[in-house]
Structure 1
Amino acid sequence: MIFAYNPKYVSDTLMVVTADDKSMKQTVERRENVARLKTEDGRVIGWNFFEISKAMTIEGTGQVQINDAQLAQLNEMIQKAGFEDILEKDDSPKFVVGFVKTCVPHEDSDHLSVTEIEVDNGEVLQIVCGAANIRKGLKVVVAKPGAMMPDGLLIWPGELRGVESYGMVCSAKELNIANASMKRGILELPQDAVVGSAFAVGQ
């Protein structure tokens, strides 16, 4: 679940993304200051909470963190508006240090690689990567499904040239790291970086 807030460009609205819309048409049902977004097949994919500053103080812009008390308040707003849904927060980090366990050429591409990358809690994700410097044994930064990149891009499971991919291996520029090198390719972390640890991303 992704919480996003940018009053300068999107008005005083807290946006909550709960699932990928898979490019389907969306319907919006608004009641009071709460709007529910659904796909044409009936899946709830997000919520908009308008004039949110009247209800709570949101710290930061872009992807923001919501504490348990604020989550309870959002659920109360949903209930008062007459919706029956409940928001459930996932506090697990979405940007983590990963270890490239395997890396093989994509069978249908001359520049893509198919990797298996260990992330947090021993989980191993298959990720298709286009960086020339990706290779077995690297420590890298992985944006897991449900991450929002600093430029607003949302990361969801997908498919590249017929191969499933569950995240993205990131470059320093994509992570908005201060004074990031303009060198092409993914960010290579020191070998003493702890696999599964959260990685702080710039806004």
Structure 2
Amino acid sequence: MMWIAFYNEQGVGDVLMLTRGKADENHLSTESNNGVTIVRDSTQDNQVMSINLFNISETFKPNGNGNVDLTEEQVSQVNDKIKEAGFDIEVEVDSKPKFVVGYVESCKKHEDSDHLSVTQTNVGGEVLQIVCGADNIAEDMNVLVARPGATMPNGMIIWPGELRGVESFGMICSTRELGLTDIEDLPGIWELKDSFEPGMSLEEVVASYK
């Protein structure tokens, strides 16, 4: 799983926070050195699940607030800082857009649920298996997908997971979940125009409605 970065100077302080998945809060251990704190989860083979880099603006100033994108140079600086602190961890980030157009190539009923569907959804360059509970999900339609690592407007991070025993790698979204009810305010997932291409970013989609 790739790492994602957060920065909230006003709320948290000058700390770059990195995470790469869900962690069990009851089984965490921390280790700190030279302005870097790593957090391990004993339920996941003691893997490092998050890293905090303090006084990050002494190295570089993150661009934005909340979920932030790091440049290649910044990722290199982060890894240098982690290495200097004595930790053998290398951070990689996914620079692809997290909210993109998806084309539902197939849609089948979940074998263990009367309301869930299992889709194979093309998001441009890859096909993701996504379990969806919307009534209006169907094959051969364009939808808006939150890829793993996406942060929803309510702060929820989308991670790979399982729904009734079936793996799911993302979330098919409604305008309400995306905070875009000014474009459309209907129940169910957002049914996009056929003209949109898989992999097109949410920003491009929103711009087309203006």
TM-score for the superposition, normalised by structure 2 = 0.86
The CA RMSD measured in Å over matched residues stands at 2.1
Q: What are the within-5 Å matches in structure 2 for residues 176-195 of structure 1? A: 176-177=179-180, 179-195=182-198
Match of 1:6 among 5, 8, 17: 8
- Change in CA separation of 1:178 and 1:31 when aligned onto 2, cut-off 3 Å: farther
Q: 1:116 to 1:24 in 2, by over 3 A?
A: farther
Aligned residues: 201
2:75 to 61, 71, 81: 71
2:36 to 34, 37, 43: 34
Aligned to 1:59: 63
- Partner of residue 165, structure 1: 168
The corresponding residue for 1:47 is 51
State the match for 2:123 in structure 1: 119
Query: SS of the counterpart of 1:10?
Result: coil
Q: What is the Cα deviation at residue 77 of structure 1?
A: 1.2
Which range is displaced more, 177-186 or 143-152?
A: 177-186
Q: In structure 2, what is the Cα distance between the partners aligned to 1:59 and 1:18?
A: 20
Aligned-partner Cα distance in 1 for 2:9–2:95: 24
Matches within 5 A, 1:73-112: 73-112=77-116
Q: Which amino acid aligns with 1:198?
A: S
CA change 1:25–1:105 in 2 (3 A) is: same
Uncovered stretches (5+) of structure 1, i.e. residues with no partner: none
Which protein has the bigger helix share?
A: 2
Alignment check: 8 A CA contact 1:112 1:129 kept: yes
Partners of 2:66 and 2:102 lie apart in 1 by 24
Output the CA distance in 2 between the equivalents of 1:48 and 1:186: 35
Residues 65-101 of structure 1: per-residue CA shift (max 9 Å, x gap): 1112211211121122111222123222222211011
Deviating above 6 A after TM superposition, structure 1's stretches of 4 or more consecutive aligned residues are none
Q: Is the 8 Å Cα contact of residues 131 and 171 (structure 2) preserved in structure 1?
A: yes
Q: When the two structures are superposed, what TM-score results if normalisation uses the length of structure 1?
A: 0.89
- Identity within the alignment, %: 44
Alignment partner, residue 201 of structure 2 = 198
**Unaligned ranges ≥5, structure 2:** none
Q: Aligned-pair distance for 1:47?
A: 0.7
Residues 83, 169 of structure 1: CA spacing in aligned structure 2 closer, same or farther, 3 A cutoff? same
